Structure 1
Amino acid sequence: MSESKISIDLESYPPIFRQLNIQTQRFNDQPVEESEPIPIIDLHCLNPGELGKACRDWGLFRLVNHGVPSTLLSQLHEHAKRLFSLSFESKQKIFTTPLSYLWGTTAITTSGTALMTGLQNIHWVEGVHFPLNQLSQFQTEDPILASFRLVLEEYGEHLGRLATTLFKAMAVELILDPEESKSHLVESTGFVRVYRYPLRSMANSPWGIEVHTDSSVMSILNQYEVGGLEVLKDNEWLQVKPIPGTLIVNLGDMMQAISNDKYKSVKHRVRLNKHYERISIGYFVFPDEGSVIQSSKYRPFTYSDFRAQVQQDVKTLGFKVGLEKFKHTQASSP
C-alpha cells in the first residue's frame, strides 16, 4: 500500500510541538542504506535454528504468516489516526487511568516534562500507553476510544500468542531450563504503545526517538505505511521499510540477559518523515516482576531491579545505561 499525505491539524498536537515553524531548516544527518537484508521468520514453519541466527546476528526479524488478520492491522491504524486527530485538550481528558498520555518523552512517569525542560531535550513523539491486562475494566464515554479499546483487546490476544510462541522457540534454541524460563516471559505484563510522530518540518531534530534499546524481552511493531525505523547492524544504520501484512520483532535488554548475551538487544532509532506523519503500534512484553535472571555475564537481577536502575539513571544522568549496570565486575588479581 502506498503512502498518502494527510492534512495536519496543529491543534491536535501538544502545545510544545506547535512552537516551531522551521521548514527551511536543514539537518546534517547521514543517509542510511536503502537496502534491508532483514531476516524473515515464517511462523507457519518456525525453525529454531533460523530464529536463533536472526536473534544472534540482528536482534531483529520480519515476521510473516503470523495469523493477525490484515483487516485488524488496518483497523488499528485507522482508529489510531482518529484518536490522535482529536484536540490536545480532548486527549488529555479522555486518556485517564489506567491509560497514560505522553508527549515529548517515552517515559510515562515524566509525561509532559518537556514543557519545563525546553525544546532541546524532548523526543518528537506523542503516544498513548495501554496496559492490556487492565483494558477490560476500562470504561469511557468517548465512542472513538471505546471502539479502539475493543480492537486493542483483540490485537493483544494475538500478540500474546505470537510472543509466547516465539519465546518458546528461542528457549529451545538456547537450551534454557523449561521450568525456569516459564517466568521469563509473562503475557500479563504486555502493553501496547501507540505513537504518532510529527512532520520533520515541525521539529528541531531529524529524530522522533533517538538511539536506544528496549528494556523488554521482545517488542513487536506494526509500523504500517510510513517508515522511519532504523536499526544498527555491523556499525551501519539500515532502514526497516514497512511491508504490508508483516510485523517487526526486535529483542530487548531482558532477552539479551536471559540468553547470556548470545542474542542481542538491537539498537534502533526513529527518523521523522519530511512529508508524512508516522503512526506506529508497538507491543512490549516482560518477565514476571520477581523472576530472577541468572547468567554468567550479569549478577542476578529481576526486571523490577532493572526498571528501578533505569529510572534512577535517567533521573541522575539524563539517559538509560541499561545492562552495563548489571554486568559482573572482574575482581583484580592479588
Structure 2
Amino acid sequence: MASSIAPSSQLTGTSSSSDRPCSLDFSKGVKYLVDTASNLHSIPSEYILPLSLCPLPVCNASIPVVDLKDLHGSIDRRASIIQALSSACSEWGFFRIINHGIKISLMDDMLRSVDGFFSLPLEEKMKYASDDVMHPVRYGTSLNTSAKHALHWRDYLRHFGHPLQNSFHLWPDSPPNYREVAKEYLEEVWKLASKILGAISEGLGLDRDYIEKSFGEGSQIVASNYYPPCPEPHRTLGLAAHSDHGGLTILMQNDVDGLQVRYKDNWVQVGHVPGSFVVNLGDYLEILSNGRYKSVEHRGVVNEERTRISIAVGHGPELTAIVAPASQLLDEKSELKYTPILYKDYMRSQQSSVSSVY
C-alpha cells in the first residue's frame, strides 16, 4: 500500500500541553514524536479523530483459516482447498493461511530487519521521504492523502518488490542486511501469492493461470508499518478504514494485535497466530470477479503499551493492465458491474484520495 507525507502546512501544529514541545513537526513521524516528547500522557490534537471514526467494540467472530498443505496433492484435496478459498473470498474477502511453506526463520528475520530500519536515526529514514505516491521507495507517516485530515499513529516504509531489477538498488542499505533479507522474503511471498492466485482463479471457474496472465509482468509492493505505543489509543487509529487497490495482499505482523476487518457492518479483531499469514483480496480481484469476491475494508488500531509492526505485501498487475471483469464470467444474464480502466490510472486515483495498505 502506499502512503504519502501530507504538506508541511498540514503537518506542523501547536500543542498547549506542558508535557509536549510547543511546536511539533509531524512529518518526522510518530516514532520521533514518542522518542523525543518527554512524559507523553496524551496525543497532540492533530491525531484526535472524530468520535465516529474512533475504535469501536469488535464482534465475536474469526476470519476463515485455510490450510494449504497438499494444495498440489490429490485432486480431491486440491478441490477441498479451492472450495475453502472460494468461500472465504466471497464471504469475507479475508482469510488466514497455515502450512504455507515459508520458513518461520525468514519471517522472523524480515520482522527484525523492518524493526531495525525504523530504529535508525531520523536523518537516515528521511533520505527516503517523498510526496510522490508512485515513488519506488518511500518513508513517511500517517496516511496516503494530501487532503486535510487528522493524522494517524503510523510510520511506514514502502517500496516496490517484483520486478526486482527495477528498484532493488534503491532499497534502504541500512540496516546492513535489509536488502538481502527483504529480497529473499519478497521472492518467497511472490511464489506463495502465485499458488494462492491459481487456486482462487480455479474457484471462479477460470483457468488456473488466468489471474496471473491478467497481471502481465505483475507488480509487488511491500508496506512495512510501524505503530508506536499510544497514550490514548481510543482517540485515534494507526490506519483508517480502507480497501486495497491491488489483487492480493499477504500480511505478517508481530505479536501485537491491531488488524480489524469489517464483516457484516461490524469490526472483527484479527489476532496474531504465530507462523501464519493473513491474506485479503484487493479491488482488482473484486472487479475481475465482477463482484463475486469481495475487497473488504480493514483498519489498524494502536496499543497503549507496545509497538505493533505489520508487513503487508501487495500483488497486482503491471501498470499498463486493464482492470475489468473477466469476460468468461459475463453472459446475457450477468450485468457488467465495473467500467474498465487502466490499472495505473486506478492505482493513482486510489492512492491520491484514500489510505491503502500498499
Residue matched to 2:119 = 85
Counterpart AA for 1:259 = S
- Structure 2, unmatched stretches of 5+, are 1-20, 72-80, 326-335
Identity of aligned residues (%): 29
Residue matched to 1:37 = 62
Residue matched to 1:61 = 95
Relative to 1, partners in 2 of residues 1:136 and 1:209: Cα closer, same or farther, differing over 3 Å?
closer
Give the total of aligned pairs: 294
Superposition pairs of residues 1-334 of structure 1, within 5 angstroms: 15=28, 17=30, 18=33, 21-23=40-42, 29-33=55-59, 35-46=60-71, 47-93=81-127, 98-106=136-144, 120-132=149-161, 133=164, 134-138=166-170, 142-144=173-175, 146-176=176-206, 181-185=211-215, 188-201=218-231, 205-295=235-325, 296-311=336-351, 314=353, 319=354
| 1:221–1:281 Cα contact (<8 Å) kept | yes
Q: Deviations over 1:209-248 (max 9, x none)?
A: 1111010101000012111000011111110001110000
Alpha-carbon shift at residue 42 of structure 1 (Å): 1.4
Relative to 1, partners in 2 of residues 1:170 and 1:76: Cα closer, same or farther, differing over 3 Å?
same
TM-score by length of 1: 0.78
Counterpart AA for 2:169 = Q
Counterpart AA for 1:80 = V
- Structure 1, unmatched stretches of 5+, are 1-9, 322-334
Counterpart AA for 2:230 = R
- Measured in 1, the distance between the counterparts of 2:346 and 2:339 equals 11
Alpha-carbon shift at residue 253 of structure 1 (Å): 0.5
- Measured in 2, the distance between the counterparts of 1:95 and 1:15 equals 9
Alpha-carbon shift at residue 175 of structure 1 (Å): 1.7
1:101 counterpart SS class: strand
1:32 counterpart SS class: coil
TM-score by length of 2: 0.73
Relative to 1, partners in 2 of residues 1:320 and 1:82: Cα closer, same or farther, differing over 3 Å?
closer
| 2:29–2:155 Cα contact (<8 Å) kept | no
Residue range with higher mean Cα deviation, 87-96 or 266-275: 87-96
1 or 2, which has the higher helix percentage?
1
| 1:164–1:185 Cα contact (<8 Å) kept | no
- Measured in 2, the distance between the counterparts of 1:201 and 1:209 equals 16
Relative to 1, partners in 2 of residues 1:291 and 1:276: Cα closer, same or farther, differing over 3 Å?
same
Alpha-carbon shift at residue 178 of structure 1 (Å): 6.0
Q: Deviations over 1:77-104 (max 9, x none)?
A: 1121121112222211367974211112
Alpha-carbon shift at residue 14 of structure 1 (Å): 5.3
Alpha-carbon shift at residue 184 of structure 1 (Å): 2.8
- Measured in 2, the distance between the counterparts of 1:234 and 1:70 equals 33
Counterpart AA for 1:130 = H
Residue range with higher mean Cα deviation, 84-93 or 52-61: 84-93
| 2:324–2:339 Cα contact (<8 Å) kept | yes
Residue matched to 1:330 = none
**Which runs of at least 4 in structure 1 moved beyond 6 Å after TM superposition?**
24-28, 94-97
Residue matched to 1:326 = none
Relative to 1, partners in 2 of residues 1:53 and 1:272: Cα closer, same or farther, differing over 3 Å?
same
